[in-house]
Amino acid sequence: MSIKEYFVSIFKGIHSLLQGMAVTGRELVTPKVTEQYPENRDSLQIPERFRATLQFIYDENGRHKCIACRSCERNCPNGTITITTRAVDLGNGKKKNKLDVYTYDLGSCTFCGLCVQTCPTDAIEFSNDFEQATFRREALVKQLNYLPDIDDEPAPAQTEAKPAPEPKTEASAPAQTEAKPENNDNNDDKQA
Ligand code: SF4
Ligand code: SF4
């Protein structure tokens, strides 16, 4: 190495050092963006569409809209959702499968959103509640239908809707009368 090259390398080293110090000095006076979490928990702005965990949508009466069709379970690419159903007697001689337990494993969810997109009744959504950390993996497995199931009771709503067609049943053909012999009994009772 010549004397010239020696001094050039020293100059480059000093120049590099000054460049680094300039960056450090600039950051020293710029406004800080550090989140003071969890002290600022109340003022945190979490984007609405942030997908933190799956949840049921309950209305003000505590009812959800899941019809246990299993569409979300089938479309989940990694088996995060498990649905069990039970047969419920509708009281008219028919039975219907209703949701028993809706299990969601947050630990295996990839937040792809396919379950929400394919739900025909918009019964589920993603919450942006990001504080889902836990020390136990089992705690990540959640039952989403956690409220007492009162979906069996709205059956009267269907019963109330049925009386409307009754006039049509009387006016129309006996074919329907044959299909619903119980209605005849009811009508007789009413007439009596
Ligand atoms: S977001 Fe994707 S991975 Fe998570 S439960 Fe829904 S379908 Fe499954
Ligand atoms: S959450 Fe939606 S897609 Fe899943 S079982 Fe219920 S109604 Fe069907």
pLDDT the model gives residue 33 = 81
Residues 134 and 68 in one domain: yes
Task: Classify the C-alpha dihedral 52-57-59-61 as positive or negative.
Answer: negative
Residues 56 and 127 in one domain: yes
Residues 91 and 137 in one domain: yes
Is there a contact between 128 and 52 (Cβ–Cβ < 8 Å)?
yes
Residues 94 and 139 in one domain: yes
Which two structure tokens, joined as six digits, stand for 153? 């009771």
Is 42 part of any domain?
Answer: no
Is 139 part of any domain?
Answer: yes
Q: What's the 84 CA to ligand 2 centre distance in angstroms? A: 12
Is 183 part of any domain?
Answer: no
Residues 14 and 55 in one domain: no
Is 134 part of any domain?
Answer: yes
pTM: 0.65
Beta-sheet strand order (sheet of 141-143): 81-89, 95-105, 141-143
Instruction: Based on DSSP, count helices (H) and strands (E) in the chain, helices before strands.
Output: 7, 5
Please state the atom number of ligand 2 nearest to the C-alpha of residue 56: 1
Is 2 part of any domain?
Answer: yes
**Number of domains composing the chain:** 2
Is 162 part of any domain?
Answer: no
Q: What's the 75 CA to ligand 1 centre distance in angstroms? A: 8
Q: What's the 99 CA to ligand 2 centre distance in angstroms? A: 9
- Tens of each residue's pLDDT in the chain, 192 residues: 789 999 999 999 999 999 999 999 999 999 888 888 999 998 888 999 999 999 999 999 899 999 999 999 999 999 999 999 999 888 888 888 999 999 999 999 999 999 999 999 999 999 999 999 999 999 999 999 988 776 554 443 444 433 434 444 443 433 444 444 444 444 444 433
pLDDT the model gives residue 154 = 44
Report the CATH number that the domain containing residue 120 is assigned in CATH.
Answer: 3.30.70.3270
Residues 56 and 143 in one domain: yes
Domain range enclosing 11: 1-33
pLDDT the model gives residue 104 = 98
Residues 21 and 115 in one domain: no
